[in-house]
A and B are shown apart, each in its own frame.
Chain A
Amino acid sequence: MSHSDFQPKNPALQWIERRLPIFSMMHGSFISYPVPRNLNYWWTFGGILAFMLVVQIITGIVLVMHYTPTTAEAFDSVEKIMRDVNFGWLLRYIHANGASMFFLAVYIHIFRGLYYGSYKEPREVLWILGVIIFVLMMAAAFMGYVLPWGQMSFWAATVITNLFTAIPGVGKAITQLLWGGYSVDQPTLQRFFALHYLLPFMIAGVVGLHIWALHHVGQGNPAGIDVKSDRDTMPFTPYATVKDNFALICFMVVFAWFVFYIPNYLGHPDNYIPANPLQTPPHIVPEWYFLPFYAILRAIPNKLMGVVALFSAILVLAFLPWLDTSKVRSARFRPLYKQFFWVLVAVCIGLGYLGAKPAEGAYVIIARILTAYYFLHFLVILPVLGYFETPKPLPKSISEPVLGKSGAASGIGARAPEKN
Chain B
Amino acid sequence: MATSKTVTTEHTRRDFLYIATASVGAVGAAAVVWPLINSMNPDASVLALSSTEVDLAPVAEGQIITVKWQGKPVFISHRTKKEIESAQNVKLSELPDPQADSDRVKKGKDEWLVVIGICTHLGCVPLGHEGEYNGWFCPCHGSVYDTSGRIRKGPAPLNLAVPPYEFTSDKAIKIG
Contacts and interface: CB of A to CB of B under 8 A. Distances in A.
B125 interface: yes
A133 to B, nearest CB: 25
Contact of A306 (B118, B127, B155): B155
A278 B125 contact: yes
A159 B43 CA distance: 22
Given A181-B71, A278-B66, A280-B124, A191 B40 contact: yes
A274 interface: no
Interface in A298-357: 298, 300-304, 306
Contact of A280 (B41, B43, B46, B139): B139
B174 interface: no
A5 interface: no
Interface string B120-154: 01111111000000000011111000000000001
Nearest to A305: B155
Contacts of A278: 66, 68, 73, 117, 125
Contacts of B121: 162, 303
- Chain B interface residue count: which class? 20 to 34
B168 to A, nearest CB: 23
B171 interface: no
A359 B46 CA distance: 35
Nearest to B125: A280
A279 interface: yes
Contacts of A177: 37, 40-41
Contact of B46 (A163, A187, A301): A187
Interface residues of A, number: 36
Interface core residue of B41, B121, B138, B140 (most chain A CB under 10 Å):
B140
Interface string B53-70: 000000000000010101
B68 A180 contact: no
A43 interface: no
Interface in A106-162: 155, 158-159, 161-162
Contacts of B138: 280
B109 interface: no
A70 interface: no
B157 interface: yes
A159 B124 contact: yes
B139 A282 contact: yes
B38 to A, nearest CB: 9
A280 B140 contact: yes
Given A180-B41, A182-B46, A284-B140, A159 B123 contact: yes
A360 B124 contact: no
A315 B140 CA distance: 25
Contact of A181 (B46, B68, B141): B46
Contacts of A155: 124, 140
B28 interface: no
Given A159-B124, A180-B46, A280-B125, A303 B71 contact: no
Given A159-B123, A280-B124, A303-B156, A176 B41 contact: yes
A182 B37 contact: no
Given A177-B41, A181-B46, A163 B122 contact: yes
Contacts of B66: 278
Contacts of A183: 70-72, 118, 123
Contacts of B70: 182-183
| 4 closest residue pairs by CB, A with B | A162-B123, A162-B122, A280-B124, A280-B125
21 contacts: A155-B140, A159-B123, A159-B124, A165-B122, A176-B41, A180-B42, A182-B72, A183-B70, A187-B40, A277-B72, A278-B68, A278-B125, A280-B124, A280-B138, A284-B139, A298-B141, A301-B154, A302-B155, A303-B122, A303-B155, A359-B142
Given A155-B124, A163-B122, A282-B139, 9 more contacts: A176-B42, A182-B42, A277-B73, A278-B66, A278-B125, A280-B139, A282-B127, A301-B154, A359-B141
